[in-house]
Amino acid sequence: MTDYLSMSIDLIFGFIALFIVTKVLGKTSMSQITPFDFVSAVLLGELVGNALFDKKAGVPEIAFVVALFGILMWLSEKITQKFKRTRALIEGSPSVVIHKGKLYRDSLKKNNLDLDQLQHLLRVKDVFTLQEVEFAILEANGELSVLKKSDYQTPTRKDMKLSPKEVNLPAALINDGELIEDNLREKNLTKEWVMEQINAQGFDRIEDVFYAEYEKGEDLLIYPFLNRNHMKWDG
Model confidence pLDDT, tens digit, residues 30-41: 445 555 666 666
DSSP conformational letter for 164: P
Architecture in CATH for domain 171-230: 2-Layer Sandwich (3.30)
pLDDT category of residue 204 using cuts at 50, 70 and 90: very high
Q: Is the pLDDT of residue 22 over 90?
A: no
Torsion of CA 142, 143, 149, 153, to 10 degrees: 180
What are the Cα distances from residue 136, in Å, to 44, 133, 202? 34, 7, 47
Give pTM, 2 decimals: 0.53
The predicted-structure confidence for 184-199, as pLDDT tens digits, reads as follows 999 999 999 999 999 9
CB of 133 within 8 A of CB of 149?
Answer: yes
How many CA atoms lie within 13 Å of 179's alpha carbon, on the beta-carbon side? 13
Q: At residue 28, does pLDDT exceed 50?
A: no
User: Where are the domains positioned within the chain?
Assistant: 2-88, 95-152, 171-230
Say what the pLDDT of residue 31 is.
Answer: 46
Ramachandran sector of residue 144 (left: φ over 0; alpha: ψ -120 to 50; beta: rest):
beta
pLDDT of residue 4: 62
The reported pLDDT for the residue numbered 55 is: 64
**pLDDT reported for residue 231:** 46
**CATH code linked to domain 95-152:** 3.30.240.20
Q: Facing residues of 135 across strands?
A: 99, 147
pLDDT of residue 2: 58
